[in-house]
Amino acid sequence: MLREHHMQGLFVPVVTPFLPSGELDLASFDRMVHQLLTHDIQGIVLNGTTGESPTVAWEEVTTLMQAMAAMMRRGTAREADADQRRVPIIVGIGTNDTRASVRRAEMAGSMGADAVLVVTPYYSRPSQEGIVAHYEQIAKVGVPVIAYEIPSRTGVRIDVSTMRRILDIDGIIGLKDSTGSTDFVSALSAGGNSKPVLCGEDRLFHAMLCQSASGGMLASAHVETDSFLDVYRLAAEGQYRESLSAFQRLLPLIELLFRESNPAPIKWLLKQQGLLASDTLRLPMTPITAGLQAELGQLLAKGEYVGK
């Protein structure tokens, strides 16, 4: 299982590939994940925001977990898999129903998840006390929990003092910070936070590393994975200027990948790279506009972003 000291480096929240019919595309899933496993990433996240969790049934999450387990078992069985590694699997299980989230955490644990990603309860806008109680109940399951704060999607914002209480809960191993600025991670650091924080805002990756973040959980790291790893490695070595230079090269790509709703741009790009057979999304998500396709195509045509 994932522990606090494992919460460093680059984690990739993967897209959920669909066939044009809308069903799971396991062949594309296998191809995409296998490619990611050739890089020095520290974990893969299933059923997160990037994985279109609101429209993926739990039975389908189970199917994806089984596919991941089969892939890990293959490991180095084939010569082509010689570079493939076993990495932790994190499953998004958070809902705005505490009992349902507890049940999902139990099922994720029984399927072999190394940790669960638990978003702040959304829509119902609970009190700070209610949010703490929500995390306490899920942590009791015994599967390591990564708290996930993303107020732009949940409609409620956790106070810094409340987050400190959440991070003090036994079984909570860290935080994915998608608050939209470096203020939260800075405040936690200033208060002596002892648990790791992963950057969840791709455009703030370097800035958060400079503010004590231990790594990133970044959707755009599906592509140019090694370049994102360079940003982290240089910062971890204290070479912040060099890390910034490496990150600035990635910014035009990041900006376009989040110009329209995630994960539509990433799916389009992965299709262009031959990793996905289709960029199909489930409604209400829709494919990217022709204008963004043209902009991404122009960026790719420059030859600056050709790595996977």
**Helix (H), strand (E) at residue 147:** strand 145-149
> How far is it, in rounded angstroms, from Cα 48 to Cα 54?
9
DSSP β-bridge partners for residue 116: 91, 145
Tokens for 65? 């977990």
Whether the upstream peptide bond of residue 265 has omega within 30° of 0, thus cis, is: no
Question: With contact defined as beta carbons under 8 Å apart, do 307 and 225 qualify?
Answer: yes
Whether the upstream peptide bond of residue 151 has omega within 30° of 0, thus cis, is: no
> How far is it, in rounded angstroms, from Cα 70 to Cα 66?
6
Annotation marks residue 305 as catalytic = no
**Helix (H), strand (E) at residue 158:** none
Annotation marks residue 302 as catalytic = no
Question: With contact defined as beta carbons under 8 Å apart, do 264 and 285 qualify?
Answer: yes
> How far is it, in rounded angstroms, from Cα 6 to Cα 73?
21
User: Which is the catalytic residue, given 135, 148, 232, 305?
Assistant: 148
Question: With contact defined as beta carbons under 8 Å apart, do 13 and 49 qualify?
Answer: yes
User: Which is the catalytic residue, given 122, 135, 140, 176?
Assistant: 176
Burial class (CB in 10 A: 0-12, 13-18, 19+), 259: middle
Contacts of 145 (CB under 8 A, 6+ apart): 105, 115, 116, 118, 135, 138, 139, 169, 171, 172, 173
Known catalytic residues are 148, 176
